[in-house]
Amino acid sequence: MNPFALPLNDTYLWRCDQPAPVDVPLETARGWLAAGVAVHAPVRGSVYGTLLNDRRALQALGDAVHQPPYKAPPQAPVLYIKPRNTLCAHGTRVVVPAGVEGLLAGAALGAVIGTTACRVREQDALACVAGYVIVNDLTVPHDSFYRPALPFRVRDHSCPMGPWIRAARLLPDPDDVTLSVYVDGIRQQQASTAGFIRPLGRLLQDITAFMTLVPGDVLLTGVPAEAPLVRAGQSVAIEIAGLGRLENHLIPESPSFTGNKP
């Protein structure tokens, strides 16, 4: 049985030395991380991102939103996919591609789907969410949001998530949480999901009107405008109040690098 079809009691974490994720108290999970236990990304489903859900991000386009190729502000959620090759865990080293100044660190709240969601109503939608996870949507800097280009968004390990999933009941209002980005320990951004155009319930209603989300899928509610740039050699951390802290280190691409390991 898929574990996300069951209620989470507390904190859902996948240790690298265990064959499957476990549901444990938060203090136990924190103790494992403090002891240096390596973890996997806690889910293996499809990850769907939402662009331009932050009002400031849409406003930043200015008059360009009325010009080709956009021609008008979006009337529906603008989605993209972070495929399996992008998924990685807390503590994983992330490669900055050669010739790229750095990666934009997009703090995102990930809603982990717990029950099959198809044509759900906004007022019922949050019942489909099993829990929440911190996600760092790393992207190569680019100007256009029109038909998001794959080379900018699907680099290997460009979607760190974790360290764990927290049960949905422990984050009662996903539409009013604080997201913070730290680079080398210094806070570079603080934002809130309260500024998003579509709250999570509305997002789920609009998206499941044309596609089905299944247990283990993750929907990112949006990335705040003006994501900070993180360069090779720097560490980046995403904090979400009530969920915890996701940390990763960026390294330069080199011929001798043979793979990412936590």
Phi/psi at 93 (5° precision)? -80, 135
Higher pLDDT, 61 or 194: 194
Q: DSSP assignment of 62-76, as one string?
A: GGGGGSTTT-S--SS
38 domain residue, yes or no: no
Sign of dihedral through CA atoms 39, 262, 180, 46?
negative
Mean pLDDT in residue range 8-27: 93
pLDDT value, residue 60? 63
Residue 186: name the closest of 77, 102, 119, 105 by CA: 105
pLDDT digits (tens, 9 = 90+) for 144-153: 555 557 778 8
Task: Give the three-class secondary structure for 24.
Answer: strand
Total of domains in the chain: 1
Higher pLDDT, 73 or 88: 88
24 domain residue, yes or no: no
Mean pLDDT in residue range 53-81: 67
Q: Give me the CATH number covering residue 121.
A: 3.90.850.10
257 domain residue, yes or no: no
262 domain residue, yes or no: no
pLDDT value, residue 147? 56
Confidence at 238, pLDDT banded by 50, 70, 90: very high
15 domain residue, yes or no: no
Say whether pLDDT at 54 is over 70. Answer: yes
106 domain residue, yes or no: yes
158: left (phi over 0), alpha (psi -120 to 50) or beta: alpha
Give the mean pLDDT of the chain.
88
Confidence at 261, pLDDT banded by 50, 70, 90: very low
Domain that holds residue 56: 43-252
16 domain residue, yes or no: no
21 domain residue, yes or no: no
Amino acid, res. 17: D
Amino acid, res. 10: D
Residue 145: name the closest of 154, 153, 156 by CA: 153
